Amino acid sequence: MKTGRRLYSAQRPADLGGGVWSVPVPIPGNPLGYTLVYAIESPAGPVLVDAGWNHEDAWAALRDGLAAVGVDVRSVRGVVVTHHHPDHAGLAGQVREASGAWIAMHEADAALVRLIRGLPDGSHRDFQAEMMRRAGAGSDADAVQRSARPDAPAQPDLELRDGDLVDLPGRVLRTVWTPGHTPGHVCLHLEDADRLFTGDHVLPGITPHIGIYPYDRQDVDPLGDFLASLTRVAELGDTEALPAHEWTFPDAAARAAEIRDHHEDKLLRLRDLMAGLPGEPLTIWEVAERMTWNRPWSDLGPAQRGMAAAEAAAHLRTLEVRDEVHRTSGAPGDPVRFTVTSY
Ligand SMILES: [Zn+2]
Ligand SMILES: [Zn+2]
């Protein structure tokens, strides 16, 4: 694992050659620092991959950064969004307003955007708090219910499916559906240059959040999807990676394989941990407390614990699909509990 965060203040717009530029756009108050927005040249106007966080400073950085590499934001033809998260889709609406650009997104994330946009104010927080209570969160759930949330992203004009070509005249930009981090996450393969825009799916120094929402869902397996999506990228061969955070790097396939190994290892350790705790089945919260995170559990705030629990739940769900653990149901209203499956 490479070390060290890079600061936004040290980033500059860059000409990556071949009609591709990167523009760092800050994420205010977030340790991730910045989103790398890419502009791809075409005879019919540039297309952006992602747009950045919806904030005044981020908008100024995007507009001025594009201008610095010779792109007028008003000339943008389209914005293809790798996934619906606010650090990617946040500014897409403002770019569309400035230029008349289309916004494209995978159909599964477009459906989520419709859902989020349709929610009455505050109901998202109620949903999250209720989900945390069902996982055994206790008072951490109350804190989350009081927290603020970013604005919903703009509804896309175009919905993408796996294999679709993005409307980029004179170039070949293909949609590679890579569910896991979100259900509709896509990587974009610039086939004429053998470059892969990896979004949050494959990052050089960190791994993306893989959670399950609500935590006790049994009809999906996001981590299983993510592992399959990593295999998909690993099979693309030696392709240059242009990720949405951190920095560009030469071999997307090698890094995808490394991240897959990291999660397989985490699954193995979680199974061992569950096997070493015979007796009472554990709530998702109790499992999360016992797993290893980048900081001690006691140092994590309620929202971070919520994300850790979602990640624990995703790993438990994959182990359940693999028949390594199973859930037990107690009295109605009690949190769901997991225990190791013994043979
Ligand atoms: Zn994301
Ligand atoms: Zn991101």
Task: Give the pLDDT of residue 2.
Answer: 44
**Which ligand does the CA of 50 lie closest to?**
2
Task: Give the pLDDT of residue 4.
Answer: 59
Distance 49 CA to ligand 1 centre (A): 14
Q: Domain 8-257 adopts which CATH fold?
A: Metallo-beta-lactamase; Chain A (3.60.15)
- Across the range 208-215, mean pLDDT stands at 94
pLDDT of 98 above 90: yes
Confidence of residue 15 (pLDDT cuts 50, 70, 90): very high
Task: Give the pLDDT of residue 277.
Answer: 83
Structure token pair of residue 220:
């999906």
In which residue are the tokens 């359940």 written? 320
Local structure of 169: helix, strand or coil: coil
pLDDT of 10 above 70: yes
Residues by chain with Cβ below 5 Å of ion ligand 1: 85, 200
Q: Rounded to whole angstroms, how far apart are CA atoms 117 and 111? A: 10
pLDDT of 205 above 80: yes
pLDDT of 219 above 70: yes
pLDDT in tens, 250-269: 999 999 999 999 999 999 99
Structure token pair of residue 201:
């799916």
Task: Give the pLDDT of residue 131.
Answer: 81
Query: Per DSSP, what are the bridge partners of residue 326?
Result: 339
Name the residue ranges covered by the structural domains of the chain: 8-257, 263-340
224: left (phi over 0), alpha (psi -120 to 50) or beta: alpha
Task: Give the pLDDT of residue 136.
Answer: 86
Task: Give the pLDDT of residue 30.
Answer: 86
Q: Rounded to whole angstroms, how far apart are CA atoms 156 and 211? A: 24
Cβ-contact 327, 335 below 8 angstroms: no
pLDDT in tens, 41-73: 999 999 999 999 999 999 999 999 999 999 999
- Across the range 139-149, mean pLDDT stands at 75
Distance 330 CA to ligand 1 centre (A): 34
Give how far the C-alpha of residue 338 lies from the chain's centroid of Cα atoms, to the nearest Å: 26
List of residues 6+ apart from 211 with CB closer than 8 A:
222, 307, 310, 311, 313, 314
Task: Give the pLDDT of residue 253.
Answer: 97
Distance 85 CA to ligand 1 centre (A): 5
Amino acid in the structure at residue 60: A
Distance 249 CA to ligand 1 centre (A): 19
Among 56-60, 101-105, 300-304, 329-333, name the one with the lowest average pLDDT: 329-333
Confidence of residue 29 (pLDDT cuts 50, 70, 90): confident
Confidence of residue 148 (pLDDT cuts 50, 70, 90): low
Q: Rounded to whole angstroms, how far apart are CA atoms 13 and 16? A: 10
Q: Rounded to whole angstroms, how far apart are CA atoms 141 and 330? A: 21
Distance 304 CA to ligand 1 centre (A): 15
Alpha-carbon distances of 29 from 81, 82, 225, rounded to whole Å: 22, 22, 30
Model confidence, pTM = 0.93
Cβ-contact 108, 81 below 8 angstroms: no
Helix and strand counts by DSSP (H, E) for the chain: 10, 14
Cβ-contact 247, 284 below 8 angstroms: no
> What class, spelled out in words, does domain 263-340 have in CATH?
mainly alpha
Distance 331 CA to ligand 1 centre (A): 36
Task: Give the pLDDT of residue 129.
Answer: 82
Q: Rounded to whole angstroms, how far apart are CA atoms 151 and 215? A: 23
Distance 278 CA to ligand 1 centre (A): 36
pLDDT of 202 above 80: yes
Task: Give the pLDDT of residue 331.
Answer: 76
Where do the DSSP E strands lie in the chain? 14-15, 20-26, 34-40, 47-49, 78-80, 102-106, 158-160, 173-177, 186-190, 195-199, 240-243, 282-283, 325-328, 337-340
Alpha-carbon distances of 332 from 20, 186, 329, rounded to whole Å: 55, 38, 8
With pLDDT > 90 as the criterion, what percentage of the chain qualifies?
Answer: 78
Task: Give the pLDDT of residue 334.
Answer: 84
Confidence of residue 343 (pLDDT cuts 50, 70, 90): low
